[in-house]
Each structure stands twice: as C-alpha cells, then as structure tokens.
Structure 1
Amino acid sequence: MNILTIDVEDWYNCDFISRDFNWDNYEVRIYKGIDKILDELERRNLKGTFFCLGWIAEKHPDVIRKIYSHGHHIGCHSYQHELSFRFNRKEFLQDTSKSKNLLENIIGQPVNAFRAPGFSITESNVWTFEVLAELGFEYDCSLFPAGHDYGGYASYGNAEPAILHLPNGDILKEFPINFTKIAGKNIVFSGGGFFRLFPYFMIRYWAKCSPYLMTYFHPRDFDPEQPVIESLPLLRKFKSYVGLKHAFGKFQNLLDDFDFITVEQANKLIDWTQAKMLKL
C-alpha cells in the first residue's frame, strides 16, 4: 500500500527554529510549486491527499480551490505550522479548528484528515487526538512510530495503519510515517530531506521492501531556486536545501515505479477488523 501525500506550505513555512511568523514579508512561490505537482499528477491520472496549512487557505485560497478542483483529497496541516507539543489543549483546539474551518469554507466539504507539522504528536500530548476527534477528524497521519527529533511515538510498534482508542471513548484511524534503519538511525526516505539526499536506487529499494509506504512531499522540495533562510542552524539548513536540483526527477521516477492512492482510498482497502488497535 503506497499513499501519496503533499504538505501544502510555502518555502518559508518550514522554519521551526526562529518561529518568525511575519510571513507576509516573504516572496510567494506556492502557486508555481503546486502547479508543478498538480500537472505531474494530472498527466498520470494520480490522486493524493494534500495536507494544507490554514494560513495558506486564508492568504491564498485559490491554491486550495485548484487542488480540490483536480479531484484531490484535502486534509488539514494546522493553521500556523507550529509544532503540536508547543501548544496547550486550548491553543491546539483554536489553531486546528481555525484551519479546518477555513479549508471547509473553501471546498464546501468536511475536512476529515489531519497531519501535525513535524510529526509532533508524541506520547506526552496524546490529548491532541481527543481534540481531533472532537473536531470531526476521522484520520490522522501525524505519528512517527520510533524516536524522532521532535519526540516520536516509540511505543507504536510497526509502521502500519491502526485504530487509536482514545481515553474518552472516541476512535481515530492512524496512518503513520514509515522509515528504514541505517546504523541504528531511523531514516524517513519517503519524503523531505532524506528523499532529496539519497540516490534514487536506494529510495526505490527501501520502498520495494515496505509493504506500507507513506510519502510526504512539499512544493519547496522541488524548487531549487527558492531563497535560503539564513537564520537556520547549519544542520537544519543542510536538511532543508540538500538535493533540491534533482528531487523532482526522483519524484517522477517514484511515480513511474509505484502505484499511489489517497488516505481515503487506503481507508477503503483496509480490513479494519484485522488492523492493529492501540489504547491510548
């Protein structure tokens, strides 16, 4: 099962370090980036789940309309692209509901899938799932089922879809990220910096070995001409800008070599009566 997801954010939205939210001051590149992805998927008649920032929906609603008009599944990626564990419960509710309402007002349909920025739902803030269920979400794609820079969720077990049983009695269907191990380090090869860093033959091999593949790409991954955020620490800067020149070609190769579906399509294919269950 190979799931295609795109995180809809502009090149400056990825800065978790300086937390500079004066985004109106930055060059807008999201239109060109989204068009590049949509054209490629349209050519192949592929659909994906697009996790969209509420801030993008508010400032650039035509981007969301265009994605939806191409028949893609719209998900929520928070409003401000802040790491979830930096919020308390009230703040997370406000941020997420604001984004969900903005997206639903644009597409005229319920938004039922969520992904936290930076896979930042951890074992210390599982109350976020209760908020998501309260807001009407059915699917979550936020968990990193191992140790991670932003905490991770090591007790999750194997990277596979699961039903989360929440303390308040609600349930959510979880579609976690997957990874491979190199020298004891968890490497997410299906998107982001490591996808751009490693040669494609290695990406293809790891993907072939993965019965469940959750991808996550961003428009900025395929934009070698984007400005550089100079305030980023050296390692973070390397991860953010390595491999931009050849990333889109690798993306095209991945689409050639594998069949992809949306989160909603994956939901219909899974026998949830046989799926893993986690009590939180």
Structure 2
Amino acid sequence: MFLFDTTMVTQATQQERFSPEDASSVRGETTRRHLLTVNVEDYFQVGVFQKFISTENWYRFESRLQQNVEQVLELLEQRNTKATFFVLGWTAEKDPKLVRMIADAGHEVASRGLVHQPLLTLSKAQIREDLVKSKALLEDTTGQSVDGFRLSDGWLSKQTLWLLDEVAAAGYRYDSSLMPKQRDFADDPKWRSIQQVQTANGPLLEVPLSTMETPGGWLPIAGGNYQRQVPNFVMRRLVDRAMESATDPFVMYFQVWELDTEQPRLSVADRITKVRHYRKLGKYRRILPQYLDRYQFTSIRDHGTLENSPLKLLANPAADVTRTLGAAESATELSASPAAASATSETSQRHTSTDKTAVTIVIPCFNEETSLKYLSNTLASVTRKLSEHFQPNILFVDDCSTDNTFDALHKQFGDNPAVKIVRHEVNRGVSAGILTGLAHAETDVVCSMDCDCSYDPHELANMLPLLTGDVSMVTASPYHKDGLVRNVPGWRLVLSRGLSAMYQRLLKQELATWTSCFRVYRRAHILELPLKEDGFLGTAELAAQLVLRKRVIAEYPATLEVRLFGLSKMKTVKAILSHLRLLSRIAMSRFCGSSDRQGQSP
C-alpha cells in the first residue's frame, strides 16, 4: 500500500514547496477549520465515460475502490483529520464493508445518489426515488443518519436550483452540489457562501464549493481537476488569498481515483478527455499531505459542532425521516445486473447435466493483458447464464502475444477445469485463432467472441437456440435492420457497410454483416471448408464459403460497441485491399469454377 509521508513532499519541485513566508501568512489558520470532502467513485464510473459504459456493465470492471479508499483513510488517520465522503448507493449495495469502514473510522458518509448519472435529466419522480433510495441504502449500511447530498454528475446552476426542493423533500439537511459561476450568480453572490435556503419542503443548508473572485470571474479552486492541472505553487497562492478574504470555511474536494496512477487506461475517450482524466494522476498523493499539514480540515457534520460555525444547524438532532422505500427493496432493484439476474434464474430452474448441450466458447487473444480482468468478470456472468440450459466451456487461443497475455490467462483462468488455453507459436491472426479453437474443441457446437467484449456475450443465450438442424452458423449482425452500433468510429462503419454490400451483391445473399467474430458454429460444417485467410479477412471468407456451399446462415440482430481497452488490431488500408482481393477470388470461384468448391458437398 502506498504510504503518504514526507518522501513524497520532498519530491516536489522547489517552487512548489512551502516557504517560511507561506507559513507565517497562515499562522492564524491554526485555529480555523475548513471542510474536506471526498467523492468516492471508481475510474470507470466517471461522468466522461458514461457514453461508453452503462451502469449495468460496471460489475465487469476491475474495481480499485477498496485500495484507493484505504489510502485516503490512512492519510487522514496520519493527520488526525475527518472528512465527508460522498458515496453512491450502488457502492453501499455492492460493497457495504467498504462503506462501513469509512463510517467506522469516524468520517461522515453522505450521498451522491444511486449511481453516477446525469440526475437533472430525469423526471422529478425518478429524481425523488433516486434520492430516497440512496439515502436509505447508506443509512442502513452505516447505521447512521445521512444528512448530505452532492450530485454525481455536474454541478447546479441558477436554472437547476429547483433540485434543492427535491433534496429537502428526501430528508437531507444539506446539499453540496453547487460550484457557483459568476455568469449565473453575479446578481446574487451570496450563493458563494454557506447559507440556509428556504425550499418548498423546508430549510436546507447549501454548502458550495469554494471559488475565488477575480476580474475575469469566479475561479474554481476547490480541488478536482483544477488542482491537478494548474501548477501547485499557483493554486496554493490562490487558496491562501481565498482563505484570507473569506469568512466561511474553505470547501475542498477530490475524487479517490485521482490518487491512482495504476488504474487501467480506457481507450474510448477523445484526446482532450484523456488529458483531463489521466494527466497528473497521483498529484494528490503529494499535495494532500501539504494541505493537511498547512490547514486544519474536518467533515461537514463535525464542523457544525464548532462555535460560530455556519453549519450550526447540523448540530441539532436530525428529525426522523419516513422512508417510502427501504434498503431491501432498493437492493432488489439495484441488483438487476446480468450476474444477479442469472443467479436468481439458477435457483428457479433445475436442470441435470444430461439435459444440457455442451458448447465451447473460443476467444482469440493478442496482447489483451489489460482487458483480461474485465473479460473474467464478464465471463463469470455469461457462464452462469448459459449454464441454465447449456454446459459452457471456454477455450482461449493466445495468438503469440508479445505482452504478458499468455501468463495472465493462466493466472486468471488456469485453475478452472472448464477452461483450456492453447497458444500459437507465431502470430497468425484472429481467424486462425478461431479455427484453432474449432480444431481443439471437443463439442459439436462452438461459439466465438472478441476478447474485448465489443458484442455483449450474454447474447449467446439467444443465439445458441437459433442453431437448429439445418443451420451451419449463427452470426451477430449489428448492420441488420434491428441491430445497433454504438460509439464505433465512422470510418469503420463506412468500411464494414460498404464491404457487406459488395459481398451481398456478389453472392446474392441478404446477409447484412459479413465480418463479425461473434458467432455460433456447427463445428463439422466449418472444419470441412477450404479456408485460406487467417486475419480479419477470414470471417468474411468463412461466411462466403458457407454461402457457396448453400449452407444456411442465421442472422441475429446485435449491438456492436467500441472497444474499451487498447487499440483495434485492424489496419484500415490493408483491410480494404485484402477484402478486394478476397472478393475477386470469390468472383472467380462463383463464375468460373474453382478448386475451392470441388469435392465439397452442397
């Protein structure tokens, strides 16, 4: 575990160190307490990734929340400091021990809602349900009242202050969702200060994040990305000036993932987002000890017990809150993940192993070390779901990876008797990996899927029943009229749709998608094909050869999403030229006759 100590401070540049003049300028701060707030969220829950990662898929990711929270708690214990931790109801439901650990350490637990989502876009009924459920979950988990709320996505503006009515109605005593901007509140600057707001549902304290008044506007200096990207010596001076001019306590915040330099890198965001999210990760490891040594901080709740605190109202006993929804009911609805749903289904359906068809899922891998934990969590859920009606086995084919994929596969899956791992001695391509898997499989029915889960592998439960007696292959089809494509680069869509149209015309086959790797096969029908292509081209060749032999292909409308980890292995120009070459070869086979078809049964 990382230790916050003076060694990190001594690594700072000379200009970032505190000078004697700095120390003398804040000697008066020794008796003044400020507010430290911590947003408890994992790297994959961040708002900028919401477009690519749905809440239903959070369980697939490797969580780093435990270690990050432990590091923060260790630092605060070393400095004898308390803080307010804003926690999702989802976290309380999935990891109650973590939330109790925060509360047991003497810190305040407050709410950020059920899940990380743009709450302000929901209906008022949905907002009210979210606020009440998250409060109930956190209170039942910690055994303590939850007084505070903060939005998980974005900040309040003048136009959205109506949310405070809903926060008060849900039984919260304060809100901290406001980082005021001058363009919104120039005519009403009191919103920069802690104040009691009279809402339609009773009084509510507003605890805004600290800003500094400058000629150009109100500068956000409370923490988060601003503290990471702006040089430390600049932010330190600004914070000093803000504290000198303000009578309210300074309200600081940070996210626990901002301390984590080893978090997996997601490849889905644009360059600006990547810079904002990943640049200077870990800086808080250095500057937090500096701020905690320089100033005294406490939690929002505990500050209310101090003399002359603007949060004095929090020292009064909280009124009983009548809950319309208890934690048990909340947990039931929150658990609607594939893993939980499949577990429930397992208890309701009893099948003996002799009733189930054995299937093998082939997964080609090339330099996929960073995605294996995500894949492991996904496959655990997939195999539970498939086990209701099938006997699933997993067969990994490492395509001579140059990273640590092969060893990581053995470490992650090696002890599972339903898993087999084979390896190519040289890199041969994704289609060669699928064919190797088909050759090593011991079942008549074989599936193939991408290692990056760009198609949801849970859909295999719907695709497998389509492999009826006369069907040789079932293919996922995002370009089917009922299929869907999400966040995939435009160039890839143009390429895939254009090539699919060419294959359709040449082979006179109304198959919308020819290049998918997400398929279900009748093994014997595939092994008899004279396939020559090893790379991405092989998926189209396989489909074409089945059509030439008048085999039946079933198409399943599916959703294709952009890969989350690493980069695509496809080379665009090479792929286009290769497909044109394959199309020419198929044309020769179709119109002139070819040895590819000789001796093959129709």
TM-score by length of 1: 0.88
**Which is further off, 115-124 or 77-86?**
115-124
Partner Cα distance (1:176, 1:273) in 2 = 12
Alignment of 1:122-271 (within 5 A): 122-146=157-181, 156-158=188-190, 159-166=192-199, 168=200, 170-180=202-212, 184=216, 186-210=218-242, 211=246, 212-269=249-306, 270=308
Aligned to 1:45: 80
- Using the TM superposition, give the Cα deviation of residue 121 of structure 1 relative to its aligned residue in structure 2, in angstroms: 2.6
Secondary structure of 1:247 counterpart: helix
Distance 1:154 1:85 in 2: 23
The CA deviation string for residues 35-80 of structure 1, in whole angstroms up to 9 with x for no partner, is 0000010111110001111111111111101000100011001111
Amino acid at match of 2:138: L
Query: How many residues matched?
Result: 271
Q: What SS class does the counterpart of residue 260 from structure 1 fall into?
A: strand
The answer (yes or no) to whether the contact 1:33–1:222 under 8 Å persists in 2 is: yes
Q: Alignment partner of 1:23: what SS?
A: helix
| Cα deviation, residue 236, structure 1 | 2.3
Equivalent residues of 1:188, 1:195 under 8 A apart = no
User: Over residues 166-199 of structure 1, what are the superposed CA-to-partner deviations in whole Å (9 max), with x where a residue is unaligned?
Assistant: 1x25110111012236783654233211111122
User: Structure 1: any 5+ residue segments left out of the alignment?
Assistant: 276-280
Identity %: 27
Deviations 1:7-46 (A, max 9, x none): 1111111134516222111111000000000001011111
Report if aligned partners of 2:179, 2:220 keep a CA contact under 8 Å in 1. no
Tell me, yes or no, if structure 1 residue 12 matches structure 2 residue 75. Answer: no
Aligned partners of 1:145 and 1:155 also within 8 Å: no
Distance 2:221 2:137 in 1: 32
Query: Which structure's relative contact order is higher, taking Cα pairs within 8 Å and 6+ residues apart?
Result: 1
**Cα distance change of structure 1 residues 222 and 272 upon mapping to structure 2, 3 Å threshold:** closer
1:188 alignment partner AA:
P
Offset of residue 253 of structure 1: 0.9
Q: CA RMSD in A?
A: 2.4
Q: Could you tell me which runs of 5 or more consecutive residues in structure 2 were left unpaired when the two chains were aligned.
A: 1-32, 314-602
- Alignment partner for residue 117 of structure 2, among 68, 79, 82? 82
Cross-structure match for 2:511: none
Which secondary structure does the structure 1 equivalent of 2:253 belong to?
A: coil
Alpha-carbon separation, structure 1, partners of 2:188 and 2:109: 26
Alpha-carbon distance between aligned partners in 2 of 1:76 and 1:42, rounded to the nearest angstrom = 22
Instruction: Note if contact 1:193-1:242 (Cα within 8 Å) is conserved in structure 2.
Output: no
Instruction: Name the amino acid aligned to 2:251.
Output: M
Aligned to 2:93: 58
Supply the AA of the counterpart residue of 1:131: E
CA deviation after TM superposition for structure 1 residue 125, in Å = 2.9
Cα–Cα, structure 1 residues 154 and 172, in superposed 2: closer, same or farther, change >3 Å? farther
C-alpha contact 1:121 1:142 (8 A) present in aligned 2: yes
The TM-score normalised by the length of structure 2 is: 0.43
SS of aligned partner of 1:28: coil
Q: CA deviation at 1:118?
A: 3.6
Contact 2:147/2:172 (CA < 8 Å) preserved in 1?
yes
Q: What's 1:28 paired with?
A: 63
